Amino acid sequence: MTTNRFRRTRVLVTGGAGFVGSHLCERLLADGAEVLCLDNFYTGRRETVAHLLDNPRFELMRHDVTFPVYVEVDRIFNLACPASPIHYQKDPVQTLKTSVHGSINMLGLAKRLRARILQASTSEVYGDPIEHPQKESYWGNVNPIGTRACYDEGKRAAETLFMDYHRQHKLSVRVARIFNTYGPRMHPNDGRVVSNFIVQALEGEPITLYGDGSQTRSFCYVDDLVEGLVRLMDHPDDDIGPVNLGNPGEFSMRELAEKVITLTGSSSRLVHRPLPEDDPKRRSPDIDRAKALLGWSPKVDLEAGLEKAIAWFKRLREGEA
């Protein structure tokens, strides 16, 4: 469903050439916005937004958010940050700078413009959670010195900055705690579980199950997430605090692998690989706040979403996506 909710609004999307960002840019254009997509192409690519370049309301700017930027906009979605463990761990210092310096710059920009700004935070702020499912009131269980810390602690510091700019400078902020999201336009070498499993299944290669595959995640289809993000940005109350956005359906990685094998009709077998350091054992969002505040809940179940993602990866292999 689209609306005219962003008609004539100038919207900056940082990380706009990434997986989620490209879908968000597309949605905002459909809702009438003028979209400035800013990206340093660290994990994102021009190709994800190539189909938008002809739209006169769309502009693509190469820029790294760790450096100041002076543009004129009404709304800011701050998505810039690599999201896949293999990519955010490749240059951990840059990952932390992106969350901390990047957030300071985008908050400074929002403060100068008195623009509303939304941070793409993450379920990783809950770390390897002791409470289950995770509510926004849970403070989390994060290893501050491990190999995931550059991402987790960066996102936690970003949340602190967002809340402090709100308290200290009366800035209008929104914080979305996004749980694992998947769908078309994930990079085939992204390294996250859904794209890995689908690509491996389609190639007939072994499916790499880390650990014993009993760890769980809850997967949200990207269109559902984007709907949640635009509703959160639109919410009129500046004091709502962080809101979980995710699909509560919880699956083990073994179940996910089996579903992907069934849906692709693949002959791939499962192979075990070591469980990465600090890999969270269980994860599922409590979405009562999103339901109550935004009237939002995900509509696409895992099977239907996987089918759409698989269809896209097939087209990509055939050179059509």
Q: Kindly list the catalytic residues.
A: 151
State the residues that interact with ligand UDP by CB under 6 A.
68-70, 84-85, 104-105, 108-109, 111-112, 180, 192-193, 196, 208-210, 215, 217, 253, 275-276, 279
Kindly tell me which residue out of 11, 52, 80, 199 binds ligand NAD, with binding defined by CB under 6 A: 80
- The CA angle 289-292-298, to the nearest 5 degrees, is 75
**Other beta carbons less than 10 A from residue 237's beta carbon:** 9
Does 110 help bind ligand NAD (rule: CB under 6 A)? no
The residues, any chain, with a CB within 8 Å of residue 117's CB and separated by 6 or more, are 75, 76, 77, 78, 106, 107, 110, 162, 171, 172, 173, 174
Does 183 help bind ligand NAD (rule: CB under 6 A)? no
Instruction: Tell me how far CA of residue 80 lies from CA of 39, 65, 188, 247, 290, in angstroms.
Output: 7, 7, 19, 22, 23
Residue 216 binding result from ligand NAD, ligand UDP, none, given CB thresholds of 5 to 8 Å by partner type = none
Q: Which of 43, 36, 25 is nearest to 80 (CA)?
A: 43
What phi, psi does 189 have (nearest 5°)?
A: -100, 20
Q: How many residues bind ligand NAD (CB under 6 A)?
A: 28
Residue 276 binding result from ligand UDP, ligand NAD, none, given CB thresholds of 5 to 8 Å by partner type = ligand UDP
What phi, psi does 102 have (nearest 5°)?
A: -60, -45
**Least distance (Å) from ligand NAD to the CB of residue 226?**
11
**Least distance (Å) from ligand UDP to the CB of residue 292?**
26
- Which range touches ligand NAD (CB under 6 A), out of 28-36, 132-140, 175-183, 250-258? 175-183
Q: Which is nearer to ligand NAD, 122 or 268 (CB)?
A: 122
Residue 202 binding result from ligand UDP, ligand NAD, none, given CB thresholds of 5 to 8 Å by partner type = none
What is the per-residue binding string for ligand NAD in 16-55, x denoting contact by CB under 6 A? -xxxxx-----------------xxxxxx-----------
Instruction: Describe the chain by its helix, strand, coil percentages, rounded to 5.
Output: 40, 20, 40
**Least distance (Å) from ligand UDP to the CB of residue 108?**
2
Q: Which helix (H) or strand (E) holds 293?
A: helix 288-294
Residue pair 23/37 in contact (Cβ under 8 Å)? The answer is no
Contact set for ligand NAD, span 250-309 (CB under 6 A): none
Return the exposure string of 69-83: e unless at least 16 CB atoms fall within 10 Å of the residue's CB, then b. Answer: beeebbbbbbbbbbb
Can you tell me the distance from the alpha carbon of 196 to that of 260, in angstroms, rounded to the nearest whole number?
A: 10
Q: Which is nearer to ligand NAD, 31 or 124 (CB)?
A: 124
Q: Does residue 57 sit in helix, strand or coil?
A: coil
**Least distance (Å) from ligand UDP to the CB of residue 111?**
5
Binding footprint of ligand NAD on the chain (CB under 6 A): 14-15, 17-21, 39-44, 64-66, 79-83, 98, 102, 120, 122, 178, 180-181
